[in-house]
Structures are given as C-alpha cells and as structure tokens.
A = this chain, B = another copy of it.
Amino acid sequence: MALQADLQDKIIQAVADGFDDQIAFTQELVRMPSLRGHEHPIQDFVHRALQSRGYAMDRFYMDREAIAAHPGGSKFSDDHSDAPIVVGIHRPREEKGRSLILQSHLDVVPEGLHDMWSDAPFSARIEGDWMYGRGAGDMKAGAAANIFALDALRRIGLQPAATVYVQSVVEEESTGNGALQTFLQGYTADAVFIPEPEEEMLVRANTGVLWFQVQVRGVPVHVREMGEGANAIDGATRIMAVLREMEEDWNAEKGEHPHFEDEAHPINLNIGKIEGGDWASSVPSWCNIDCRVSIYPGRSADDAAREITERIAAFAQKDSFLSNNPPKVVFNGFHAEGYVLEPGTEAEAVLGRAHESAIGAPLESFMTAGYLDTRVYALYNKIPALCYGPKSRNIHGIDECVSLESVKRITAAMALFIAEWCGTEAADA
C-alpha cells in the first residue's frame, strides 16, 4: 500500500537533513584502501557504526568447505580475503511487515597506476557534485546509503515494522563468496536490496562471470637459437585470439537470451592481466594471462568453464609449440551464474513507487554485464533481488567518482521503499 503523501515528504526531508553526515561517513569509507584482503579495518568500522546505532550484531567468516561444495561457490585462490562478514540486525517490536536484507560490499578493485589519477586514489575529494576515489561509486556510497536510509526513518521517530538485516560483505569484486556465505549462514528475507551504482535504474538481468588464468610454459633458449625454442608470450597471444573468437561466438547467440537480444555486445571477455618472461634477451619460458568472461543467465559456470578449457585444448593440439607444451587453465575466482529479475514482483512495484516519489520519473530497468551479488539471492534464496543505486563515473577505472545529488535521491528512494515494504512503527526509545 502506497505511502501517504505527507509521510513521503517527511522521509525525503529526513534524508536531506542527514545528508551532510552521510557524505562525511561515505568519505571515511572511501579513505580506507579496502583492497582485497585489506577489508579488516573497514569491516570493523562498519561493525562499530551499526552497533552504536543499537543493532544486534553478528560477525562470521567464510566457510571454505561449504562454499566449495555449493554450485554457486567460486574458487579460492591464495589471494582470497579472510576479512569477516558483518551483519547488523533490526527487529521490530511487532513483526507486521515484510522483512528485508540491505546488502553492500566494501572490497574495492585495485586502483591502477596512481600517476593516471588526478588526485590520490583514496582521497574522497569532493569537486562540485562528485566525490572521487576508488570505491566511491562501487559501492561505498551505497554502503552508507543502507545505514542512512534507516537513520532517516529514525530521525522522524519511525523504524521498520519487520526484520531488517544490514549485511556488509567482502569478496564481491573477485568471487562473490561473501554474499554466498550470508546465504550459507542462514540469512534470508522477503527481499534483498543492493545499492550498487546502477545509474538510478533497476537491474533486470545480469550475466554470470568466470575468472580464469591461462598458464603457458615452454622451453626457453638464447635468442640466437630462437627457432629451436618457443616464445611463451607469443603462445599466450595466440590463445588470446582463440578466446576472442569464443567471445564473438557467444555474442552471436544473444538472440536466444531474453533481455540480451538488443544489447550490442552483451558478452565481454577481458584480458585483465598478463605477466611473462624474465628479461628482453631470453626467450620467455612462461606467460600467464588473467581473464574474466561473462555468461548468459541460465548457463552454469561449470558448463562455460568446460567450453573454455576444451577450446584452448583443441587449439593447442594443432599448434606446433603448444601441442608440446599444453597450456593449463586454472579457475581462480568468480564461478557465478547470472540471473533475471522476472517482471511483476511486488518488491519491484514498491521500488517503482518509491523511485517515482523520490526522483519524479518512472523506474527504468536494464541489463548489466558485470557480476552482482544479487545473483546469490535470486538463485539460492529465491527472493526478489533488487539492484538499484546512484549515478557514477569510471568505476574500476581512473578518477572513479559518484554523484552526490544522485546519492541523495536514491537514499530517499531507499528510505521510501523500506517504509512501504517493511511498514513502520514508532522507533524504539
């Protein structure tokens, strides 16, 4: 049931009244370089922030065996984070409304070459409407919005009339195992909301993602005898071409996949990292390439992994160098299936009203080709999984930034969504 107009106005005003604090809180998050494996202090910071607000607290760790046994579990590598997962729990006096998970991740991707940034990558500098910094958009602004949307209701004497879990995870950028662990821990609700930087739109469909490393080894020799040896970097280059061919084949199938048929290039293969050889004057004996590829919803990660392995093996068999030095394919991260948010859920209808009240335009939806933790909730919790959040620029890139006016708008939409989805009751004293 839609919120009354005066309550809507009060909620939007309450978000605005808390927004200076929300910006300052977001800056504190952005200033912490919470790269993979280094999320310990930021998760403790969020633990303190939630505990000080009176939420019941839970803190737990990845269960490697349980994750490895689950079909949605991604591969562990030596770089996998050991940082904890933090959950703040709101329970109403009377459980009248629909329960909700508000999730965010606080791990960030590497900042890249510092000299390409206009400023230090973790500066949290504000210029005009934009807050800059690695993770500002993806997704520290959203992590703060989860907390401040609830704060806004309290500011006007209200709290959700249903259980709300505020879940802060890690490993979203490399495996998605943090979100999966909340499911394995038993957390679920009537819906989940993840405010990733989605340009104020709702994610309708999302690809799965696979990470893998191709390892080429070969007999090295002196350059003067180059014909006798084999160049592992050249070998890796030929495998890159095989992978690009696979990417094109997968894109050519887009017509068979609803929500993807109108995308120019729904499947992206990224050769994200390469390392090979020791120095200029030795023929390189080794080369590793780190790749990331998306897969259509409905296709299992195992099936896609099998095709990748088989295509590389088939090419290697015909290649004079690689047939003697078969490359190894190691799956070392994301092993995640995509999902579709089927239209027509009540959760989407509630978000549509909240969005229209806060932003003044109908809610649009779109397909996105990156990994999203919402896949855990859609595929395994089997609950409506809403991914919706602020406008940003250059996430994963140089000079990443987030629009503060947009953050304010989506925080208002979130507060309105919570009020209608969960219902409200008078806040605890």
Contacts and interface: CB of A to CB of B under 8 A. Distances in A.
Interface string A156-199: 00000000000000000110000000000000000000000000
A68 interface: no
Contact of A113 (B217, B222, B334): B217
Interface stretch (A17-25, A224-232, A380-388): A224-232
A273 B268 contact: no
A356 interface: no
B223 A279 contact: no
A282 interface: yes
A58 interface: no
Interface stretch (A43-51, A98-106, A254-262, A394-402): A394-402
Which A-B residue pairs are the 9 nearest by beta carbons? A273-B277, A222-B396, A110-B278, A272-B280, A280-B292, A224-B370, A280-B290, A221-B397, A224-B369
Interface stretch (A141-149, A233-241, A346-354): A233-241
A84 interface: no
Contacts of A37: none
A429 interface: no
A240 B238 CA distance: 12
Given A112-B278, A211-B280, A222-B370, 10 more contacts: A110-B282, A223-B369, A223-B396, A224-B369, A226-B268, A271-B284, A273-B280, A280-B291, A280-B333, A281-B371
A274 B272 contact: no
B268 A223 contact: yes
A219 interface: yes
A272 to B, nearest CB: 4
A287 interface: yes
A368 B278 CA distance: 22
B265 A284 contact: no
A276 B289 CA distance: 10
Nearest to A371: B281
A283 interface: yes
A221 B209 CA distance: 17
Contact of A394 (B221, B274, B290): B221
B222 A285 contact: no
